[in-house]
Structure 1
Amino acid sequence: MRTKQWWTGSPEANAYYQTEWGRPEHDDQRLFEILALLMFQAGLSWRTVLRKRPALRQAFAQFEPARVSRMQATDIERLLRDPKLIRNRRKIEAVIHNAQVVQHVQTQFGSFDQFVWDIVDGQPIVAPTTDLTKIARQTPLSKKAAIVFKQNGFTFVGPTLLYSFMQAAGLVDHYLESPK
């Protein structure tokens, strides 16, 4: 029996998979957006997150870390009342906090991109598979990445979320190959 792939559930998910997911990303703002979207996705479906993505982009200043980092308690309360968003206080606060950390990382490492790609020594890890449903939810590398992210001040970044981040941002390439 074949398991339905996550990107076949909606036009938004299919478009995201076809045009964005898994492509090596090096733009700090886009990397921050991927991280934030994955934080919002925790416990929810990608379909839900991608349907709400336009509203999330608007609410979080297109995920520009400098602007998000300046959000205040009044902004959080406003976002919690907006039905177009994923209204989870912990996730909203973590996105704002992590925007502040991204700025610190940019100062310390030169860019968020440099910080992120150092995890894989600057080169994507190519890991072909014949069945995407059998890919691990976390790996020793994602566990190490979670430690590094947390040591630098990030929150809401466990090894499972970071492995998804590594896949979505193209650090790990699980391309589908034909079974032999």
Structure 2
Amino acid sequence: MVQRCNWALTGSKFLCDYHDNEWGKKTTNARDIFEILSLEIMQAGLNWDLVLKKRQAFRNAFDNFEINKVAAYDTAKMEELSCNAAIIRNKRKITAIVNNAQVALQLRREGTSLSEFIWRLADNKSIINNWEYAEQVPSKTLFSEKVASELQKKGFKFVGPTIVYSFLQAIGIINDHLSYCSFKNY
């Protein structure tokens, strides 16, 4: 019998599919990491199911999260995004995503990718937690505070320790699938 983390059972098919096929799996592609970071920023104050339902609209609006393209957005493009009813139209979040694409390009110019930068902070290893209950899973940790601080030092925006913790879970640096979950990979 397939068992899932409790949160994967509380929303739509999008949420369940995301849990089963993406969440907690090691992600190293810089574009994919940028997409997840951007979606995590959009999710702040909202719920992940809503963001997943709008994911294709986000991809369409943000040129499939191609870092080079997003980094080149000008004021007119950001205004267009803030009027796009298919996505979350928060101007601060949109501005942060464009800024973060520019910072990711700067990392590349310095000889590293967004993926390499993030994974290096984790010594290129996943942290596998063995929580029994959803209530045990923290919303932030000292490690997410450290990563948030390092991202902020580089110039990333909208990357507090709670958003970063969720981001690290999403890309597999932190594996918080509950101990009984059929999708926990060791």
Asked if TM exceeds 0.5, the reply is yes
Give, in whole Å, the separation in 2 of the partners of 1:57 and 1:110.
24
Partner residue, 1:29: 31
Aligned to 2:172: 170
Measure how far apart 1:126 and its partner are. Answer: 1.1
What CA deviation, in whole Å up to 9, does each residue of 1:125-151 have, x standing for no partner? Answer: 111111123211110011111110000
Partner of residue 77, structure 1 = 79
**What residue in structure 1 maps to residue 141 of structure 2?**
139
The 8 Å contact of residues 132 and 174 in structure 1, kept in 2 or not, is answered as no
SS at match of 1:25: coil
What's the secondary structure of 1:40's corresponding residue?
A: helix
Show CA shifts across 1:61-103 (max 9, x none).
Answer: 1101100000111111111111101000000000000000011
- In the TM superposition, residue 173 of structure 1 has moved relative to its aligned partner by 1.0
Which residue is equivalent to 1:127?
129
User: What is the rounded CA distance, in whole Å, between the counterparts of 1:58 and 1:71 in structure 2?
Assistant: 14
Give the whole-Å Cα distance in 2 for the aligned partners of 1:108 and 1:160: 27
Structure 1 Cα separation of the partners of residues 144 and 110 of structure 2: 22
Q: Identify which of structures 1 and 2 has the higher relative contact order when contacts are C-alpha pairs closer than 8 Å and 6+ apart.
A: 2
Q: Distance in 2 between matches of 1:134 and 1:160?
A: 15
* CA-to-aligned-CA distance 1:2-27 (integer Å, 9 cap, x gap): x9525531111111111111100000
User: 1:95 aligned to 2:100?
Assistant: no
- Tell me the residue number matched to 1:156: 158
Unaligned runs of 5+ in 2: 181-186
Aligned counterparts of 1:119 and 1:7: Cα–Cα separation in 2: 32
**Shift of the alpha carbon at 1:111?**
1.3
Q: Distance in 2 between matches of 1:76 and 1:33?
A: 17
**Which amino acid in the other structure matches residue 162 of structure 1?**
V
Q: CA distance change for structure 1 residues 4 and 129 in 2, over 3 Å: closer, same or farther? A: closer
Contact 1:142–1:162 (8 Å) recurs in 2: yes
Moved more, 20-29 or 102-111: 102-111
| Closer, same or farther: CA 168–7 of 1 in aligned 2, 3 Å | farther
C-alpha separation in 1, matches of 2:179 and 2:34: 30
- Rounded to whole Å, the distance in 2 between the matches of 1:129 and 1:28 is 29
Q: CA deviation at 1:106?
A: 2.0
CA contact (8 A) 1:5 1:133 kept: no
* Residue 108 of structure 1: aligned partner: 110
User: CA–CA distance in 2 between the matches of 1:77 and 1:177?
Assistant: 45
1:19 is aligned to 21
